[in-house]
Amino acid sequence: MSTVPDDLQYSKEHEWVRADGDVATIGITHFAQEQLGDVVFVELPEKGATVRQFSSLGVVESVKAASDIYAPISGEVVERNVKVMEKPELVNTAPYGDGWMIKVRLADKGELTQLLSPTDYRSHIGETAGAGGD
């Protein structure tokens, strides 16, 4: 699996977005989980809450430290990943799969244009031609 999948968009704060119609899934990147180390706690907004682009939506805690998760796009939370709250290590083992964080109903699809493409995100984290992160 690529550490920066080609079918996603990214934020500079290391979140990813998978837009599907007017609903988008949000998570943190492989690079982010690697920097954090073992994730042991995830705090997410409840269904119905509103998140704003580039504002904190929740927190991931690793053994070492707590880090904010920033919303890469604005919208209403339609689902949060209860599984990742119960098993935070999913953030490490499957950051683009079962380790997703929330799904939101997009408030403004135009915001997606402010995100990074996979190529831009790769250069943002200093990764070249699909080599491993870090």
Partner 1 sequence: MATEAPTMRRTPLYDRHAELGAKMVPFAGYEMPIQYEGIVAEHRAVRGRAGLFDLSHMGEFFFKGRGAGATLDRLISSDIAGLAVGQARYGLLTNERGTIVDDVIVYRISEGEYMVVVNAANIAKDRAHVLARLGEDVAFDDRSYGTALVAIQGPRAVEILASTTDADVRTLPAFGVTHGRVAGSRATIARTGYTGEDGFEVFVANAEADKVWDALLGAGREAGMKPIGLGARDTLRLEARFSLYGNDIDETTDPIEAGLGWTCKLDKEFTGRDVIAAKKAAGPKRKIAGLVIQGGVGRHGHEVAHEGDVVGRVTSGTYGPTVEKNIALAYVPTPLSKIGTALAVRIRGKDVPATVVKTPFYRRPE
* Residues contributing to the site for partner 1 (CB under 8 A): 37-38, 40-41, 43, 59, 61-66
Tell the smallest beta-carbon distance from residue 109 to partner 1 (Å).
31
Nearer to partner 1, 38 or 108 (CB): 38
CA distances from 16 to 24, 64, 93, 126 (A): 10, 23, 16, 17
- Buried b / exposed e along 95-112 (16+ C-beta atoms within 10 A): bbeebbbbbbebbeeebe
Nearer to partner 1, 37 or 130 (CB): 37
- Cβ-contact 75, 51 below 8 angstroms: yes
> Cα–Cα distance between 66 and 30 in angstroms, integer?
17
Calculate the CA 68 to chain-centre distance: 11
Nearer to partner 1, 41 or 131 (CB): 41
Nearer to partner 1, 13 or 61 (CB): 61
Tell the smallest beta-carbon distance from residue 60 to partner 1 (Å).
10
Tell the smallest beta-carbon distance from residue 61 to partner 1 (Å).
5
Tell the smallest beta-carbon distance from residue 59 to partner 1 (Å).
7
